[in-house]
Structure 1
Amino acid sequence: MGPVAMKALSVALLSFAALYATSASAQDREYCPERPGLDTPACTIAPGKISVETSIADWTRDDQPGSREDNILFGDTLVRVGVSDTIEARIGWTPFGHDRKRDSTGVDTVNGVGDVSLGMKANLLNPDGSGVSVSVLPFVTLPVGRSSIGAGDWGAGFLVPLTYELSDTVSLDLTPEIDAAVDQDGNGRHLAYSSTAGLAFKVAKDFTLTGEVQALRDNDPDQHATQALAALSLAWMANDDLQFDILGAAGLNDDTPDTRVYAGISRRF
């Protein structure tokens, strides 16, 4: 074999080794579920992997003068598929929801399915979430759900998740978001925007405690509102591919639902 052929073979072998190392590194990436919490982490799922993240039950209560509304979602699920080392495709759906509103006129109850969301997260820096990690996440929602469970029209949004590891046990999450949110009457869209910040603490080898705050401005034509929310969540990583979680959140002003509680499970395949 001549020198030119040997050089070409060496380059090919080195390229294959680099490609294999990159692939192996991606496959060895630690599982990074988006549950629980209000923030969206910047990490993406490794290529060829699938994450199924489901809320067993998600209850929100909103008390207003003269009325009370309870909304419960069952099986609210997000599926994330690793398409490349830095990109994941996403689909979300709520298979069943129950909404009950009680006021001076009586009780109104609605049961039905929720809307479908489609999105793509593209990581711009450190897809495994290490160090400083940044992503962009555009999404759309399709109005397949019933009123009170679904929004009633299509919507869209854009997030810029950012994660910064302050130490081996503490990380900071920031998630600014802007939406073309569906109007309250289910016909048309308006501007809504929010920002969420959180600190995650690894309190034990497999347990992570996260505290978060969120501020949201909703310019609905019927009524402009500013919401403020605080949340505390706990995640238990049972093994490398399985996580259980719980979350409790409280509204900080009159425009925000008073209470939200949920529990869920995430599994990587």
Structure 2
Amino acid sequence: MPALLALLLCGTDTSGAVARNHRGNAESSLFTAEYSPDRARSSRSRKTLFQWRNETSFSATTDRDQPFVTDRPDFTEAATTVGRGVAQIEFGYTYTYNSDNGERTRSQSFGQPLLRYGLLADWLEFRIALFPTVTRITTAGESTTSRGTEDLYIGCKIALTEQQGMLPEMALIPQTNIPTGSGSLSSNELEPGLNWAYAWDVNDLISAAGSTQGNRRIDDSGEAYLEFAQSWTVAYHLADKLGAYTEWFAFFPSGADTARVQHYGNGGLTWLVSDNMQFDVFAGIGLNDAADDYFFGSGFSIRFGQGIE
């Protein structure tokens, strides 16, 4: 419902609307304005699909002169896209530990490549990710190790609005997991979902963001259920190229047999090596019994391409 209300408050670009001319040739005038090269180019180069009603015009972006914004290392996705013709690859490593009822689980995810590429318009982004994983489970002194990849993730990000005062910058991410994973690492079923990301620049030093998700998941019993996920994060500008963040996120299963609510807290640092490369480190802990005990990791992101005007 909040997403629907936000969309209702948005307006599309009306700069190409054409009034009936003095000869009554409305169809000809509308066709010319709608399909002119200048209008098509403007539609592709604007940063967002919609604008808040009190904005007067769409802003545009054409290349990598825009700030380098990544989706990692926090759980909350950025509410911006990379721009048409720009490719961005984000890599990472995560170690996760959990001990529960005499069973210890150590999991390492290597690489975690997420490819983001701007398609057709600056406000549209294609996304694909793969997570190679090694998991070791120890029970009563005996250990078993499994290696493989988790299910393939694909999606697209649609930049909806830029921030306008108290009204947030927003993006919508239709997404799904495709059952390509190895053995027990795969759910063996499609897991479609929707992620709504929103953000505010509070001032030059602090920004805030959040995300609300709903995704299909498969329980340990093999039954499907709906998993809601919520996050809130605060980012801090510490120095010219140094940033930090603190974050809370949680998973809320609905209709699950064995999955339980999980809460996490985490934080990290980012270092902008250049205009198109960033390193990060992060660590977090589980905030309730159902959550993993702790996790930590690092990663880097790099941007390619000059964009398309």
What interval of TM-score do these two structures reach, taking the shorter chain for normalisation? 0.7 to 0.9
Q: Is the 8 A contact 1:70 1:101 kept in 2?
A: yes
In the other structure, the counterpart of 1:231 is 266
CA shift for structure 1 position 31? 1.7
Instruction: State how far apart, in whole Å, the 2-side matches of 1:48 and 1:149 are.
Output: 33
Partner of 1:252: 287
- CA 218–20 in structure 1, closer or farther in 2 if over 3 Å, else same: closer
Query: Per-residue deviation at 1:227?
Result: 0.8
Structure 2 vs 1, CA of residues 219 and 86 (structure 1 numbering), >3 Å: closer, same or farther?
same
| CA shift for structure 1 position 207 | 1.1
Scaled by the length of structure 2, the TM-score of the pair is 0.76
Shift of 1:85: 1.4
Runs of 4+ in 1 over 4 A off after TM superposition: 12-24
Where do 1:143-182 residues align within 5 Å? Answer: 143-182=179-218
Match of 1:70? 106
Conserved 8 A contact 1:99-1:149 = no
Distance 2:255 2:74 in 1: 25
* Alpha-carbon offset, residue 148 of structure 1: 4.0
Residue 134 of structure 2: aligned partner: 98
Pick closer, same or farther for the CA change 1:222–1:25 going to 2, 3 Å. closer
CA contact (8 A) 1:155 1:189 kept: no
- The secondary structure found in structure 1 opposite 2:181 is coil
Instruction: State how many pairs are aligned.
Output: 254
Q: CA deviation at 1:222?
A: 3.2
d(CA) in 1 for partners of 2:43, 2:72: 31
Q: Taking structure 1 as reference, are residues 72 and 150 closer, same or farther at Cα in structure 2, changes over 3 Å only? A: farther
Question: Distance in 2 between the 1:20 and 1:145 partners?
Answer: 36
Deviation at 1:150, TM superposition (A): 3.2
- Write 1 or 2 for the structure with the bigger share of strand: 1
Distance 1:73 1:265, change over 3 A: same
- 1:263 counterpart = 2:298: yes
Letter in 1 for 2:226: L
Rounded to whole Å, the distance in 1 between the matches of 2:255 and 2:41 is 55
Taking the TM superposition and a 5 Å limit, the aligned residue runs for 1:1-269 are 25-27=61-63, 28-55=65-92, 57-83=93-119, 84-94=121-131, 96-104=132-140, 106-126=142-162, 132-185=168-221, 187-219=222-254, 221-269=256-304
Which residue in the other structure is 2:26 paired with?
none
Q: Which amino acid aligns with 2:126?
A: A
One-letter code aligned to 2:253 = D
Tell me the CA shift for residue 203 of structure 1: 0.4
Q: TM-score, normalised by structure 1?
A: 0.86
Of 217-226 and 258-267, deviating more is 217-226
SS of structure 2 residue aligned to 1:218: strand
Q: Which amino acid aligns with 1:107?
A: S
Listed as ranges, the gaps of 5+ residues in structure 1 are 1-7
Distance (Å, rounded) in 2 between the aligned partners of 1:178 and 1:19: 30
Contact 1:39 1:196 in 2 (8 A): yes
Q: Tell me the CA shift for residue 13 of structure 1.
A: 10
**Offset from partner CA, 1:91-128 (integer Å, 9 cap, x none):** 1112x31111111272121111221111011011029x
Q: In percent, how many aligned pairs have the same letter? A: 23
Determine helix, strand or coil for the equivalent of 2:81.
coil
One-letter amino acid matched to 1:171 = S
| Distance in 2 of aligned mates of 1:107 and 1:208 | 39
Q: 1:48 to 1:66 in 2, by over 3 A?
A: same
